[in-house]
């Protein structure tokens, strides 16, 4: 779905999320959201905060699972996704703290495996992801599923691609400060969502969007696995769609 600009596109996505939350509220049920970080979804979160403040949209029935977190990463670091999500969304809405799940970057290495297994279990126990929101990295990664990630991969500790680290270098004030690893939901975890919305803005994403949408499904471009999902939309601005 191609929108004129990222503002319009983000409004469209925020409305779909808000509609799910309201519908579930009517029937006394939870809405389970899979959330992403990065610059791409920030406007969606801005709109959701606006709907909360101006229209009274409540998040009391919302359970969230974030895609990923750098490892190791202290929760209060300016680079942590915990901090990012607080600043962009959670600190401004009425979500219950106990309903927020973000992979824990502070774990001891030997505890990571069990933690990842438990993360998957929590998603299942919540009823599965209703909507998974995604951005896309230059390598074609979704979450931090870098090239080589398999279709059935689950939440796990991964090594970041050099291109991904280069893209994060300015945020971290230098390549040497970018963590080499991350905990991420797997491709299989993402594909288990009932609905997937991948967003991309700007010409810099046009080549990888072209590969993801029109290229053959392959491990070297993990976003191509989304072609297997029957309820996945790519929401693009005109620039990101320009190579299609
Ligand atoms: C990071 C995140 C991804 C995100 C990607 C793109 O690698 N882990 O989930 O999709 O960045 O970032 P941006 O939206 O800033 O282009």
Q: Which among 6, 34, 35, 38 is the best mutation to test ligand 1's pocket, defined by most ligand atoms within 8 Å of the CB?
A: 38
pLDDT tens string 149-191? 999 999 999 999 999 999 999 999 999 999 999 999 999 999 9
Active-site residue identified among 54, 146, 203, 219? 146
Token pair 């509220």 is at which residue? 25
25 alpha carbon to ligand 1 midpoint, in Å? 30
pTM of the model: 0.98
Element (H, E) at 164: helix 162-168
**Domain boundary assignment for the chain:** 2-237
pLDDT recorded at residue 221 = 98
22 alpha carbon to ligand 1 midpoint, in Å? 28
Is the ipTM, as predicted for this complex, more than 0.90? yes
26 alpha carbon to ligand 1 midpoint, in Å? 33
Residue 185, classed as helix, strand or coil, is coil
Q: Which among 37, 68, 168 is the best mutation to test ligand 1's pocket, defined by most ligand atoms within 8 Å of the CB?
A: 37
pLDDT tens string 209-240? 999 999 999 999 999 999 999 999 999 999 99
Q: How far apart are CA 148 and CA 133, in angstroms?
A: 22
Q: In ligand 1, which atom is closest to the CA atom of 36?
A: 9
Q: In ligand 1, which atom is closest to the CA atom of 67?
A: 9
Q: In ligand 1, which atom is closest to the CA atom of 136?
A: 10
Residue 29: pLDDT band (50, 70, 90) is very high
Residue 167: exposure state from Cβ atoms within 10 A (0-12, 13-18, ≥19): middle
Tell me if residue 110 is catalytic. Answer: no
Q: Which residues line ligand 1 (CB under 6 A)?
A: 36-40, 67-68, 135-137, 143-144, 164
Cβ partners under 8 Å of residue 46, min gap 6: 10, 88
CATH number of 2-237: 3.40.50.1360
Element (H, E) at 3: strand 2-3
134 alpha carbon to ligand 1 midpoint, in Å? 8
Q: In ligand 1, which atom is closest to the CA atom of 143?
A: 9
Q: Is the peptide bond before 40 cis (omega within 30 degrees of 0)?
A: no
What radius of gyration, in Å, describes the C-alpha atoms of the chain? 17
Question: What is the residue-averaged pLDDT of the chain?
Answer: 98
């Amino acid at each position: 779905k191609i929108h004129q600009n990222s503002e319009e596109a983000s409004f469209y996505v925020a409305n779909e999320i808000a509609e799910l939350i309201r519908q579930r509220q009517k029937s006394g049920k939870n809405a389970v959201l899979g959330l992403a970080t990065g610059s791409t979804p920030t406007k969606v979160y801005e709109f959701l905060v606006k709907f909360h403040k101006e229209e009274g949209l409540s998040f009391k029935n919302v359970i969230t699972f974030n895609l990923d977190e750098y490892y190791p990463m202290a929760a209060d670091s300016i680079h942590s996704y915990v901090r990012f999500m607080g600043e962009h969304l959670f600190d401004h809405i009425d979500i219950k703290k106990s309903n927020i799940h973000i992979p824990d970057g502070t774990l001891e290495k030997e505890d990571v495996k069990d933690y990842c297994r438990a993360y998957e279990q929590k998603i299942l126990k919540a009823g599965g992801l209703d909507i998974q929101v995604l951005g896309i990295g230059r390598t074609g990664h979704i979450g931090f599923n870098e090239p080589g990630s398999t279709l059935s991969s689950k939440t796990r500790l991964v090594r970041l691609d050099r291109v991904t680290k280069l893209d994060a270098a300015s945020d971290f004030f230098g390549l040497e400060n970018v963590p080499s690893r991350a905990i991420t939901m797997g491709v299989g975890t993402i594909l288990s969502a009932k609905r997937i919305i991948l967003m991309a803005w700007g010409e810099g994403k046009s080549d990888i969007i072209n590969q993801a949408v029109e290229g053959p499904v392959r491990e070297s471009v993990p976003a191509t696995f989304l072609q297997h999902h029957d309820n996945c939309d790519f929401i693009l601005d005109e620039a990101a769609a320009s190579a299609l």
